[in-house]
Amino acid sequence: MKAPIVLAVDTKDIDTAKRWVAATSESISVIKLGLEFFLNFGAEGVKSVCAETDADLFLDLKLHDIPNTVSAAATAVSSLQPDFLTVHAAGGASMISAAAGALPSTRVTAVTILTSLSESDLVNIGFKDQALPSAVRLAELAVPAGAGAIVCSPLEVAAIRDAVGLETILITPGVRPMSEAGSDDQKRTMTPRDAISAGANYVVIGRPITQAWKDGEIALRDKARAIAAEILN
Ligand code: C5P
């Protein structure tokens, strides 16, 4: 059964990408293809991966430019009919509205504060508040501007849910299944279930599923099934 998992399809090899999404299709609701994939393989590459699954498409391009340019860039991917397209909330309300206007059937998905930024990085950039209140403020700016979804850290989900209400989709990376907490570079993690209990609609999961590929297609399918079961049961 499909769980609210966004599979991070982070691979340089398009055939591997196709096989990952085909093998996990029964458990995965959404596939996430990022900027690296898009720059390497373009719209045709995205279409060819999408053809292997009935999962929704999360196009993670993190657009951030003047409104006119973001509108044109969003229009340029309209043939892909992405269910989600990311933009940086810090691009401002007009930019978010421009993306939403260009793609009325897509949930423009605002990325708040990158979790790679430390509190001192935020000070150096010029943010006046810490990460949590900054992320809440950006979410409060993005939703009325037309964002239908927000990407945030699992640690920010509860506060952002309180701030934006129930209609906005919250999506969080940085989750690790119980068995794998602390096993890689993701530090401030939560389990997928806890993230969803805190108010997330979807969790982004990459390597905890895709690393099973080294043991073959069946192992990959079973890993996705197991993590889906952990979320659904
Ligand atoms: O392999 P892993 O489960 O860590 O993959 C998480 C995905 O979410 C990757 O595609 C990563 O780039 C993305 N991501 C993240 N942390 C953020 C934003 C995006 O891990 N703050």
* Position 189 confidence tier, pLDDT thresholds 50, 70, 90: confident
For atom 5 of ligand 1, which residue has the closest CA?
206
Poorest-pLDDT segment among 12-16, 81-85, 185-189: 185-189
Q: Is the alpha carbon torsion for 117, 122, 126, 132 positive or negative?
A: positive
Find out whether the beta carbon of 25 lies less than 6 Å from any atom of ligand 1: no
**Residue 181's pLDDT band (cuts 50, 70, 90):** low
- Say which amino acid occupies 21: V
Contact 86, 109 (CB under 8 A): yes
Scanning the structure block, which residue is given the tokens 């969803």?
Answer: 196
* Residues designated as active site: 62
Q: Which of 162, 139, 166, 163 is nearest to 150 (CA)?
A: 139
pLDDT above 80 (res 187): no
Q: What is the mean pLDDT of residues 89-110?
A: 98
Tell me which DSSP letter residue 175 carries: B
Tell me: pLDDT of 156 over 90: yes
Ligand 1 center to residue 182 CA distance, Å?
A: 14
More confident residue, 117 or 85: 85
The CB of 207 under 6 Å from ligand 1? The reply is: yes
Task: Give the count of beta carbons closer than 10 Å to the beta carbon of residue 163.
Answer: 16
Nearest CA-CA partner of 223 in 191, 177, 173: 177
In whole angstroms, give the CA distance from residue 54 to residue 7: 13
CATH architecture of 3-232: Alpha-Beta Barrel (3.20)
Average pLDDT over residues 26-53: 97
Residue 48 scores a pLDDT above 70: yes
| Domain ranges for the chain | 3-232
**Over residues 203-220, mean pLDDT:** 97
